[in-house]
Each structure stands twice: as C-alpha cells, then as structure tokens.
Amino acid sequence: MNVTEAINGRHSIRAFLPKPVEKEKLDSVLLASVRAPSWANTQPWEIFAVTGDTLGRIKESYRQKYADKAPAAPETPRPAGWPEAEQKRIQQLRPDMERICGASVEQFADLNQNMFNAPAVVYVCMDKTLSEWSLYDIGAYSQTFMLAAFEQGLSTIPAITLTLFPDVLRRELKIPEHLKITIGIAVGYADKGNGINKFVSAREPLGETVRFFE
C-alpha cells in the first residue's frame, strides 16, 4: 500500500467488530505516529492507549452518564459558532449519511454514545499551557496515526464524543491534572456489515479551497 492509497482509503468507521486489536499492531502504529512533525520537535502529544477491562469500565461509566443526562464537558470546547461555508458543510453531513447509507440520526448518536463499540481507544493529550501551535501538531499526529493504522488493516475514527466525560477518563486513566484531553481516536476492525461504515464523506472541489498562483 502506498501513501496515496492509504490517504484515499481511510475514512471514519463508526461501528467496530468486538475483535481485539493485536498489541504488536497497536505498538507499530504508535511507533510510526511519533514521526509526525511538530513545532521545533516539541512532540507535545501524551498518549493514553486503552483496551480491555479499562475500556470496558469507561464505556460503562459513559452509559451511566448518558442515562443520568450528565452534562458533557469536553476539554476542547465547542466553538460558539461556525463561518457560513463550514456551517453549510456541517449541515450537509447527516443528510448525506442518511441518503448514502441509510444511517439515521438515532443510529449515529447511539454508536457515538457506545464509543462505536471499539475495542481500543487512543486518547491524545497535551500540556494545558500549550497553544494552538501544538494543537496543529496533535492534528498531524492524529492523521499519521490513522494512516499507519489503515496500513495495518485497522480502521479508526477521531471523535470528540469519546472525550465528553473527562472525569471518567481522568479517574480510569490517571491522567495528570496538567494535561488536556484533546481528542480520542477509536481503533479496531470495521464491522463491514453495518451500513453506516459504507458512508464516505464528500469533499469540496479544489477550486473552493485552493487559490493557485503562478
């Protein structure tokens, strides 16, 4: 598999098989991911890779939180609003999903709330005092992780919903106070029988986002 094949082949998977991720595969993906670029090689990512009983306890606590209607408190807060072009694309996502693979809003929410039934989640944290510059590095790390996982036959989804209840994550993973939980990436084997995984999101034509000069 070459890089272009991995870039084009990766897409977010929202339903995983219960099959565990082999430790060696996860190790090799984590090893590849640290080759991501970062500001002055600061490597600001602090990773908490979670599987097995620990992930099981987190999922159970999240279920309880949803049942109690506990308020979500992601440490990367939602923006107050979106500019028009981005808002238009957000509004297109769910209808596209419904049209292309028949996934309902309820199914989407249910899979999100159940952590996509993923057998592994990697939480990417960084020091709370770091700025947007380092968040850029976290993004580079995350995409490197997802492409390396794809090469190993693993599927992924980066999801803010995995981070909605930081108190649970901090308790189970002993995440130190000075770290901020930026994103969770679910990892595992795609449930190909689940229609939601057939959804591949659209992209704007290049003319919409690229200004070319010569």
Contact partners, residue 98, CB within 8 Å, separation at least 6: 104, 105
From the list 6, 17, 130, 160, which residue makes contact with ligand FMN (rule: CB under 6 A)?
Answer: 160
Q: How far is CA 123 from the centre of its chain?
A: 9
From the list 51, 134, 161, 197, which residue makes contact with ligand FMN (rule: CB under 6 A)?
Answer: 161
CA–CA distance, 93 with 105 (Å, rounded to integer):
11
Residue 159 binding ligand FMN, by CB under 6 A: yes
Name which of 175 and 199 has its Cβ closer to ligand FMN: 199
Q: Build a one-symbol-per-residue string for 97-136: x at contacts with ligand FMN by CB under 6 A, - elsewhere.
A: ---------------x------------------------
From the list 31, 93, 105, 109, which residue makes contact with ligand FMN (rule: CB under 6 A)?
Answer: 93
Q: Which of residues 17-76 bind ligand FMN (CB under 6 A)?
A: none
Residue 140 binding ligand FMN, by CB under 6 A: no
Which range touches ligand FMN (CB under 6 A), out of 21-29, 36-44, 117-125, 152-160? 152-160
Whole-number minimum distance, CB 100 to ligand FMN, in Å? 11
How many positions of this chain bind ligand FMN (CB under 6 A)?
Answer: 12
Sign of the CA dihedral with 159 first, then 120, 23, and 47 last: positive
Residue 91 binding ligand FMN, by CB under 6 A: no
Residue 183 binding ligand FMN, by CB under 6 A: yes
Which range touches ligand FMN (CB under 6 A), out of 10-18, 20-28, 188-196, 206-214? 10-18
CA nearest to 38, candidates 151, 158, 156, 130: 130
Whole-number minimum distance, CB 177 to ligand FMN, in Å? 23
Both structure tokens of 107? 């199914």
Residue 144 binding ligand FMN, by CB under 6 A: no
CA nearest to 104, candidates 191, 190, 196, 192: 196
Residue 110, CA distances (Å) to 98, 135, 197 in order: 15, 28, 14
Contact partners, residue 37, CB within 8 Å, separation at least 6: 137, 140
CA–CA distance, 137 with 134 (Å, rounded to integer):
5
CA nearest to 22, candidates 1, 46, 53, 51: 51
* Residues of this chain that bind ligand FMN (CB under 6 A): 11-12, 14, 93, 112, 157-161, 183, 201
